[in-house]
């Protein structure tokens, strides 16, 4: 089966909700992305952690067939982010960010990973994402995620990156900010003009929109959920499962991309049902298949 | 073909947008609802206007086969609402409301209308909506629209009304307010428990959700539009086309309700593309059919 390379952050998150706090739970874009993708294909992960990174997390990833030979363990502490969600979970504020060992992170792609056909550039600085591309053989598909921080402080690097990625995945707010357009159709086209042939705009509880070349978009509502517990990592999970699905079927046609959006959406729906990676990790393949069928029924008419 | 009865307000709206103002254009829940429904079935309209209501508007409605024998013309001026939209059209504020002849409106259903099988209770006070139900033979389907104002000031009347309607159509904010639940699945169920077997929650640019009995919901994204000009009347147009579709096919099964949501969404998409009723009125049957096909492609995977 086609392997998938994911590069991103590995972190501890301290999460505050209106009714509970969870100190130092496992997080990071590479962690969520790798776990999500691991439901579909073998995953190769590149990132950095400190000496405090627990064996239990390493074991959990290995059991999911995530190859950790690209995970550097260096002196110091693992990246730590602390944030607080508003009661309805619609937004969050950062309380503190301790970059720790992540401050000096320069991704090093092991030789054995350099020809991986499917590459997910998880949410880290676009300069680091570009460094990844410099080290690898032209893959079949490169998917990049980003965030408002990079749009603000590393705009030029992000523009350079966009010329070299096939799929850009970002949320509606980021799409508007990066494109300068409010209307999401216009925003998507503007982003396509910056490089990526395919743009996926995530709208959280409102679903996702896929724009490809100059075709009509594909729009998928999110599965209405009984309970949303923790939105952290939903975007990374979406991206990981999206690319994982494409890698598994080794298919990057329009039809496959649509099904990949559905699977990204389904896996993200598990992610938000538990704190940290708990539900994402526990979701069975059968449960994922069942939920994609539910999503199909949801829009059937 | 099954006729449809619509009762609601007929108004002049003065609309302010960031780049233009439109004084005293045609509006009102009955106007939008009737025009939307008229794309599907003959419409019987009940409402009130003042002597200032122009012949041109009467003619326009008659040309769309709207039976105006229930439209009272009384001394005084027609209901007038003035509002201002924020630049991205996501919200609006009321500048003034002149009830005028609407202040004393008590709907009188002409004898010839009393056995109409499909009834749309457009957005007017729930006490007036109840008065309509008192005057008619039990119809095949009653759809009611409402708004935050009535949830605030006529809560008891609204609760009484809900026990007697089949379908409640409202937006997400209103659903949350009336049910006291943030999660829309929970909100929908709570509203169903208040009476209506079917609840349709409109989410504006994010589409609509249909909940029926205890089944899984139907979720439909909105068509992404190149240009949204004026959201006024979108909800009324949705409701009118929803019910118009059901009346035309004389079918209130689950499958028909899903297609009715699609047609409601399509007709509302035309409504918002023009100021006042302009695009809603001008949309051809072919254009409506074409857009429902586009909506089908939009969610196909």
Token reading at A234: 């939903």
Token reading at B39: 């794309």
Query: B4-299: which CATH number, 3.40.190.10, 3.30.465.10, 3.40.1190.20, 3.40.50.2300?
Result: 3.40.1190.20
Mean pLDDT of chain B: 97
- What tens digit of pLDDT does each residue of B238-261 get? 999 999 999 999 999 999 999 999
Confidence of residue B1 (pLDDT cuts 50, 70, 90): confident
For residue B127, give the 3-state DSSP assignment.
Answer: helix
This prediction has a pTM of 0.95
User: Which residues of chain A have a CB within 8 Å of the CB of B294?
Assistant: 216
pLDDT at B66: 98
Give 10-residue mean pLDDT values along chain A (301 residues).
96 97 98 98 98 97 97 98 96 95 96 97 96 96 94 95 98 96 97 98 96 94 96 97 98 98 98 98 96 96 95
Specify the pairing of strand A11-16 against strand A21-27. Answer: antiparallel
Q: Do A298 and B184 touch (CB under 8 A)?
A: no
Question: What's the average model confidence in pLDDT over B39-66?
Answer: 97
pLDDT at A1: 86
Confidence of residue B95 (pLDDT cuts 50, 70, 90): very high
User: Which residues of chain B have a CB within 8 Å of the CB of A262?
Assistant: 301
Contact B17, B44 (CB under 8 A): no
- What tens digit of pLDDT does each residue of B225-240 get? 999 999 999 999 999 9
**Nearest Cα to Cα of residue A146 among A123, A128, A120, A112:** A123
Q: Look up residue B52 and give its DSSP letter.
A: T
Residue B261: closest CA among chain A residues belongs to which residue?
Answer: A301
pLDDT at A38: 98
Q: Do B219 and A182 touch (CB under 8 A)?
A: no
Contact B50, B78 (CB under 8 A): yes
Beta bridge partners of B202: B171, B208
* Cβ-nearest to A217 among B219, B228, B298: B298
Cα B152 from chain centroid (whole Å): 20
ipTM: 0.92
Mutate to test the interface with A, among B172, B204, B224 (most CBs of A within 10 A): B224
* Cβ-nearest to B209 among A203, A209, A224: A224
Token reading at A77: 């502490």
Q: Do A185 and B224 touch (CB under 8 A)?
A: yes
Residue B49, φ and ψ in degrees, nearest 5: -135, 165
User: Which residues of chain B have a CB within 8 Å of the CB of A225?
Assistant: 183, 185
Any idea where the domains of chain A sit in the sequence? 4-299
């Amino acid at each position: 089966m086609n392997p998938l390379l994911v590069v991103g952050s590995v972190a501890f998150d301290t999460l505050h909700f209106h009714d509970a706090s969870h100190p130092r739970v496992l997080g990071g874009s590479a962690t969520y992305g790798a776990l999500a993708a691991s439901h579909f294909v073998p995953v190769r992960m590149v990132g950095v952690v400190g000496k405090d990174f627990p064996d239990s997390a390493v074991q959990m990833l290995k059991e999911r067939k995530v190859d950790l030979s690209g995970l550097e363990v260096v002196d110091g502490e693992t990246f730590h982010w602390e944030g607080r969600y508003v009661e309805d979970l619609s937004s969050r504020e950062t309380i503190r960010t301790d970059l720790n060992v992540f401050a000096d992170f320069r991704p090093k792609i092991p030789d054995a990973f350099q020809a991986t056909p499917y590459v997910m550039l998880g949410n880290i600085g676009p300069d680091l994402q570009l460094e990844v591309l410099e080290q690898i053989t032209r893959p079949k598909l490169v998917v990049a995620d980003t965030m408002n921080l990079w749009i603000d402080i590393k705009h030029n690097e992000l523009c350079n990156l966009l010329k070299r990625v096939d799929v850009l995945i970002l949320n509606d707010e980021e799409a508007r900010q990066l494109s300068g357009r409010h209307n999401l159709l216009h925003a998507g086209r503007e982003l396509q003009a910056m490089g990526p042939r395919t743009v996926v705009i995530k709208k959280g509880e409102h679903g996702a929109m896929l724009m490809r070349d100059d075709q009509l978009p594909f729009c998928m509502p999110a599965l209405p959920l009984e309970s949303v517990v923790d939105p952290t990592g939903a975007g990374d999970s979406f991206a990981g499962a999206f690319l994982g699905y494409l890698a598994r079927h080794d298919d990057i046609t329009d039809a496959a991309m649509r099904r990949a959006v559905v699977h990204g959406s389904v896996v993200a729906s598990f992610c938000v049902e538990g704190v940290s990676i708990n539900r994402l990790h526990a979701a069975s393949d059968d449960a994922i298949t069942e939920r994609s069928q539910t999503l199909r029924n949801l829009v059937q008419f």
